[in-house]
Structure 1
């Protein structure tokens, strides 16, 4: 629509003898209740015209109608000039721009971005909250890749600390040599089982100590199990060979389990970082901060930063005994990741309970003068609830990621079989279809909501072949592919120059928005923008499909080719967009 901006500037120059900046011209899509496709907001122009908004709009409208062939009519609603654009313009745009081979691709922009997501603990399996994290991180990475960035996906695994020792100690005490092979459990499930056992036995000890007169806090500190776990952590950090061997064995089980879960979810990583390798990092950064006067040392030898002038508080960055705190490690890891990849941006996909932590981390790095600190971004997201309420992993009531995926696939199977449209599918084709529909439903439901919003996930609501769901978009794609197959479609430009139906025009306009919608979603780090655009496109296509006469039977070759081109491009956009969301669209359903 650049020509409208150019011609409006010409109109202002001609009518009011004023040269104005392009930024003054505000054009937008016309609201559905008014005639036209493009609306010029006139209010910013009245200071040049010295006339009322209505008079200004009418004068500019008359000029454009007389001087611009593509404009066929206009109407004025208060300070808004609604312009009708000739069908020939939209047909030319469709044939010569939208049907080009590179319409769906963006050229590399030369910038690098890192997306860190997943970040699991190796004492339990992935759960529903991790599922949102993984799907959000993966789709944001794919969005940025589609928008021209070179993208690095990384996973910082929390594989050390007292919580890991809890699982290890419980397995030592009550495991009786149990392994994933002997138990038939995935490795992460097996280790998670012993994390739950530790918690139950720990609570029993706390209750016993409370009966002996200790307070809740005293009992928690004095429980023998917790003391043993703390002792194990000290041994581990001191390099005890037995503890390290046990840790390597159990962590190995967990990693094997995680890889299966990641494969089931369809997410991947370019590099793994492990906290067992990074927890000592950051001490050099603390020395650097002391030398620069960014940090200060208290009398007890502990090192702090005072952020009260920035509306925050004083933050400990190194304990008096010289050991790290969590933010020390994060400072060092941030530097290491930059040294490894030299990225322009680094996005941390972490739940909103860590908002304050990242505010402090980024501010410290800026005060340390890190040139790359301005490119750091915390993609904060809300928790996921089920209709039954929030989940608690330590009590063993967590919704396991693997179980959730299996449930989604089974539900997809039941709903698909009820429709009875896949009788000619082989068993392998059926299995693939159920997986695609089940995962498509899960991914779309979690991604269509703005990341910052808390989410209530209802599995049964997500698998619906109507409404704003993944299966509806998948079904629309399959319907189009079936139509194109029946019509024996061959890609070619249409020379159709007749009038477009209202829905055909709407389709061309909506399809033309794909690059802008993709870019907007990438800039906002929000797959929700793309997801909801794809739904609107699928919904509009179904309206188009029902309103035009049967395309396969259309006798006018130009009209038939043009409408099949719309169908084909719609399928291509749906496939490209859903792929970014990590969703596969079947050819048949």
Structure 2
């Protein structure tokens, strides 16, 4: 039982004892810095149950706590706020219990609990990953790690969109204009090579449209009748019919892309436990259309198309099967969700990391799955996120104006290198060590800048702004971690001992630091419940600010008393480990030196 739970029970008992009434809840908040105290009970909500002066009620509760709760040292009442001072011994005993716990804040999964499947990335195989994919990957990966830390078993997955007209566009352009070139012959990553042909298709397509318009066609007619588009559509039909030559070309080019993606994922520091491919899943779900028709969840129109009428639920009618019997994306997503539960029977819920332009799609998907009778459909969550903009404007894949993920990662490392060189703190580093450090700082800056923002908000990403060694940035937090490592290396005395809580008093800055550490488990649970890495990021920044205030106000290695030196080194070490743990949940590494 933590301190707040202990106080909760005793405050309820105090009210019962003093006033003979029961209260359901007690409102706590942190004590304002201008008043003495560590935790505050807000009296005003109690006035619905307890009649009287809030100052007198607070005084009565305070007296009860001082006499009955060993951890309470003193109290003061300011208007309707009861400020409670906690004994130093409580904080020292608490710190002693967490100091040697390498997994502090993390909860082990229970064998009987259902797992969660987190889907993220899910790219198309006609182009490299770009800045938008980066936010998707960072969010999905981090949420998966946070859910694991909160006590859930997690499977990380993606569905690779490896079929469709967009894939055939790249294939056709390579076949016409590629002259047999390969990633090996060009020195290009496979996803970049294929992406170049997606852009090439668009260029040729636009030329043909202009020619057709010049021949008297309307723009709409030209777009539909351009020969290169008709050839791509024909190629898709051949692929669906299993044409050996087309399928072989599709396999070859897709594997180029997979190899390229693997490099990007490794550089970005994300991974997956299981992969799904649209080429294997696009026919899934059709059997459940028939099932839905039997149950009355779906209805068939006169033309043979099948729909789900969701108007009673505040939505509209949604097609789930075309008149010709072919599936739509919704059908496929229904089938894929069901297939995942078949493949992993221990999964009881799923998180879909997809941009907010698909909000409506997922409302419909989750509702249809509920109507089909799947109980796990209550545990589906759309991790909806806003787009990422750049100072230069919007990105367009087919025009080749996207910010390539690999290029951005390299740019971040280069910028980190320039700033680090300017600061001149890299004496004694080899060139390899420098390059590794630049990548750690650059990636840390990128990830932190994106993850510190609530997922639902749109981001304007400025690479240079993110690499700042001051303020709420990744490098600032990484620098604090490295500073603590330096302190620990200089500690030339035995400090890994358990201090007697009754023989030590705490400086206010030490107490504030322990109080901040005490919040970490709760922050992890809140971040898991809300699917928000931003809570972890901003907690870490608050912890670092608290440490830097401690560092500036007390002498750590120069303290006169040995016990003071020991507790301060221990505090520093625990803060560093908590930074490392928290940043690990965000997929960010921390350097031992900077």
**1:573: which partner in 2?**
578
Do 1:493 and 1:562's aligned partners in 2 also have CA atoms closer than 8 Å?
no
Give the gaps of 5 or more residues in structure 2: none
**1:454: which partner in 2?**
458
Aligned pairs for 1:462-477 (under 5 A) are 462-477=466-481
SS at structure 2 position matched to 1:380: strand
Do 2:162 and 2:278's aligned partners in 1 also have CA atoms closer than 8 Å?
yes
Do 2:116 and 2:349's aligned partners in 1 also have CA atoms closer than 8 Å?
yes
Return the match for 1:582 from 580, 587, 592: 587
**1:176: which partner in 2?**
179
Please state how far the C-alpha of 1:36 moved relative to its aligned partner.
1.2
Please state how far the C-alpha of 1:256 moved relative to its aligned partner.
0.5
Taking the aligned partners of 2:114 and 2:149, their CA distance within structure 1 comes to: 13
Please state how far the C-alpha of 1:431 moved relative to its aligned partner.
1.8
Return the match for 2:216 from 191, 198, 213: 213
Do 2:171 and 2:253's aligned partners in 1 also have CA atoms closer than 8 Å?
yes
Return the match for 2:540 from 515, 521, 534: 534
Corresponding position: 1:483 with 2:484 = no
Do 2:504 and 2:563's aligned partners in 1 also have CA atoms closer than 8 Å?
no
How many residue pairs get matched? 586
Do 1:117 and 1:348's aligned partners in 2 also have CA atoms closer than 8 Å?
yes
Report the CA distance shift for 1:181/1:97 in structure 2 as closer, same or farther (over 3 A). Answer: closer
- What is the root-mean-square deviation in Å for CA atoms of aligned residues? 1.4
Do 1:465 and 1:471's aligned partners in 2 also have CA atoms closer than 8 Å?
yes
Do 1:122 and 1:158's aligned partners in 2 also have CA atoms closer than 8 Å?
yes
What per-residue deviation string (whole Å, max 9, x for no partner) do you get for residues 448-488 of structure 1?
00100000111001111111111111111111011011003
Do 2:147 and 2:528's aligned partners in 1 also have CA atoms closer than 8 Å?
yes
Corresponding position: 1:81 with 2:85 = no
Q: Which moved more, 1:81-90 or 1:573-582?
A: 81-90
What per-residue deviation string (whole Å, max 9, x for no partner) do you get for residues 215-259 of structure 1?
221111011111111111111101111110110111010000000
What per-residue deviation string (whole Å, max 9, x for no partner) do you get for residues 363-422 of structure 1?
100011111111111100000011111111111111000000000011111111222222
Do 2:145 and 2:585's aligned partners in 1 also have CA atoms closer than 8 Å?
yes
Please state how far the C-alpha of 1:97 moved relative to its aligned partner.
4.3
Return the match for 1:265 from 265, 268, 272: 268
Please state how far the C-alpha of 1:101 moved relative to its aligned partner.
5.0
**2:531: which partner in 1?**
525
What per-residue deviation string (whole Å, max 9, x for no partner) do you get for residues 14-65 of structure 1?
20123444xx222222233333111112223223322133332222223323
Do 1:16 and 1:48's aligned partners in 2 also have CA atoms closer than 8 Å?
no
Corresponding position: 1:416 with 2:420 = yes
Do 2:209 and 2:222's aligned partners in 1 also have CA atoms closer than 8 Å?
yes
Corresponding position: 1:509 with 2:515 = yes
Do 2:321 and 2:328's aligned partners in 1 also have CA atoms closer than 8 Å?
yes
Do 1:115 and 1:137's aligned partners in 2 also have CA atoms closer than 8 Å?
yes
Give the gaps of 5 or more residues in structure 1: none
Taking the aligned partners of 2:31 and 2:131, their CA distance within structure 1 comes to: 41
Do 2:99 and 2:570's aligned partners in 1 also have CA atoms closer than 8 Å?
no
Corresponding position: 1:155 with 2:158 = yes
**2:282: which partner in 1?**
279
Aligned pairs for 1:437-452 (under 5 A) are 437-452=441-456
Q: Which moved more, 1:491-500 or 1:226-235?
A: 491-500
SS at structure 1 position matched to 2:500: coil
Please state how far the C-alpha of 1:522 moved relative to its aligned partner.
1.1
Taking the aligned partners of 2:364 and 2:143, their CA distance within structure 1 comes to: 24
Taking the aligned partners of 1:237 and 1:42, their CA distance within structure 2 comes to: 69
Taking the aligned partners of 2:474 and 2:179, their CA distance within structure 1 comes to: 45
The TM-score, its normalising length taken from structure 2, stands at: 0.96
Taking the aligned partners of 1:154 and 1:58, their CA distance within structure 2 comes to: 56
Taking the aligned partners of 1:164 and 1:88, their CA distance within structure 2 comes to: 65
Do 1:552 and 1:560's aligned partners in 2 also have CA atoms closer than 8 Å?
yes
**2:500: which partner in 1?**
495
Please state how far the C-alpha of 1:423 moved relative to its aligned partner.
1.9
Return the match for 2:198 from 192, 195, 200: 195
What per-residue deviation string (whole Å, max 9, x for no partner) do you get for residues 415-453 of structure 1?
112222222122222221111111111111110001000
Taking the aligned partners of 1:67 and 1:372, their CA distance within structure 2 comes to: 46
Taking the aligned partners of 1:359 and 1:3, their CA distance within structure 2 comes to: 41
Do 2:76 and 2:83's aligned partners in 1 also have CA atoms closer than 8 Å?
yes
Corresponding position: 1:546 with 2:552 = yes
Return the match for 1:335 from 312, 331, 338: 338
Taking the aligned partners of 2:60 and 2:105, their CA distance within structure 1 comes to: 39
Report the CA distance shift for 1:74/1:500 in structure 2 as closer, same or farther (over 3 A). Answer: same
Taking the aligned partners of 1:75 and 1:490, their CA distance within structure 2 comes to: 36
**1:52: which partner in 2?**
53
Return the match for 1:363 from 359, 362, 367: 367
Taking the aligned partners of 1:259 and 1:101, their CA distance within structure 2 comes to: 31
Aligned pairs for 1:279-358 (under 5 A) are 279-342=282-345, 343-358=347-362
**1:106: which partner in 2?**
107
Corresponding position: 1:31 with 2:36 = no
Taking the aligned partners of 2:486 and 2:217, their CA distance within structure 1 comes to: 72
Corresponding position: 1:146 with 2:149 = yes
**2:397: which partner in 1?**
393
Please state how far the C-alpha of 1:69 moved relative to its aligned partner.
4.0
Taking the aligned partners of 1:68 and 1:133, their CA distance within structure 2 comes to: 48
